[in-house]
A and B are shown apart, each in its own frame.
Chain A
Amino acid sequence: MKISDLATLDTFDGLQPEYTDAEILAGYTSDLLSDVMANAAEGAALITIQAHKNTVAVASLVGIRAIIVCNNRPVTDDVIEAAKNEGIAVFRTTGNQFQTSVLISQHLNP
């Protein structure tokens, strides 16, 4: 699936649309950013409830293409601004991390 396909998923809101569309190569689910930094794969979508500027910083370092914020947690303007600068897509969903992981896994190309 491509980054833009995330916007079509049920309960997904696209919050930061300024990115270069590309294939999502993997998913990574974690709320501990040091773990994301150490273990997430380049080209992945990050499934998390951590929605702050440092999430964007870590995502950019790892090469994460999309941040999916679960449980409809608030995402402030400074986060959107930082993601825009890095060209990282941001989505928000009402689903929790488990439900969202299952959903993304079903859509990833085998």
Chain B
Amino acid sequence: MQFKADFHIHSCLSPCASLEMSPASIARRAREVGLNAIALSDHNCTFNLPAFDRVCRDGGMACLYGMEVSTQEEVHVLCLFDRLEPAMELGALVYDSLPDIPNQPERFGDQPIVNEHDEILGFAEKFLISASGYNIGALVEEVHTLKGLVIPAHIDRSVYGMISTLGFLPDEEFDAVELTPAGDPQLAGRYPIIRNSDSHRLDQIGTSCSTFDMNRLSVDHIRHFLRSNR
């Protein structure tokens, strides 16, 4: 089976994302643009994953449960799971490790937690753009222990990308690296490449995506596919 996948999508929970990005709207838009696999990956928080899980199940959309973690180094790393529970577990650990700096919505944007009917349940209190307490090595270890995929995000971007922040790609057990649409594949070194949209608005969903030929959508299948198609 062929999965046309976009695994880097922010919901309204991310203060920098548009408020139209509810899990229900994301799944609807993904279907409209011909995707059949998506992941929700908010900054340092997984509070909207339960609603995302429900809309994907109800709508028959294959999905991964994700988060874009800001490491101590201020590098963005995509963490993806094929089950909700370990994603929520990592989410709690990462959120706890954020500094106790409250969000200022008027400055940075709102961080609403919503349900599958687009109703607001509350707001994430901590400012989600802060750096978490995890450094890159510790994050790789934690995510792999929880059986997830670790993928440095947009490594070719000048802000929060691994290469611009560290100056190089460290030798870690990354499952892949993510490039923006224009990103030079040479930058990936020995790591497999995936491309996603990093959507913050509905009209960005699917503008960059990756295709996977696999029997089903799981962390193991993706890892195997990436390794054999490097």
* A positions within 8 Å CB-CB of B: 32-34, 36-38, 50, 52-54, 57-58, 76, 78
Interchain CB contact under 8 A, B164 and A52: no
Interchain CB contact under 8 A, A32 and B137: no
Q: What's the minimum C-beta distance from B112 to chain A, rounded to whole angstroms?
A: 31
Q: Mark B130-174, 1 if CB is under 8 A from A, else 0.
A: 000001110000000000000000000000000111111010000
28 example contacts (A-B, Cβ-Cβ < 8 A) are as follows A32-B165, A33-B73, A33-B166, A33-B167, A34-B163, A34-B164, A34-B165, A34-B166, A34-B167, A36-B167, A37-B168, A38-B167, A50-B72, A50-B73, A52-B72, A52-B73, A52-B136, A53-B137, A53-B170, A54-B73, A54-B136, A54-B166, A54-B170, A57-B168, A58-B166, A58-B167, A76-B135, A78-B137
Q: What's the minimum C-beta distance from B62 to chain A, rounded to whole angstroms?
A: 35
Interchain CB contact under 8 A, B167 and A52: no
- Chain A residues in 8 Å Cβ range of B72: 50, 52
Q: What's the minimum C-beta distance from B56 to chain A, rounded to whole angstroms?
A: 35
* B positions within 8 Å CB-CB of A: 72-73, 135-137, 163-168, 170
A78→B168 CA distance, assembly (Å): 19
A76→B170 CA distance, assembly (Å): 18
A52→B170 CA distance, assembly (Å): 12
Q: A33-B73, A57-B170 are in contact. Are A52 and B165 (CB under 8 A)?
A: no
Q: What's the minimum C-beta distance from A34 to chain B, rounded to whole angstroms?
A: 4
- Chain A residues in 8 Å Cβ range of B167: 33-34, 36-38, 58
- Chain A residues in 8 Å Cβ range of B136: 52, 54
A52→B166 CA distance, assembly (Å): 11
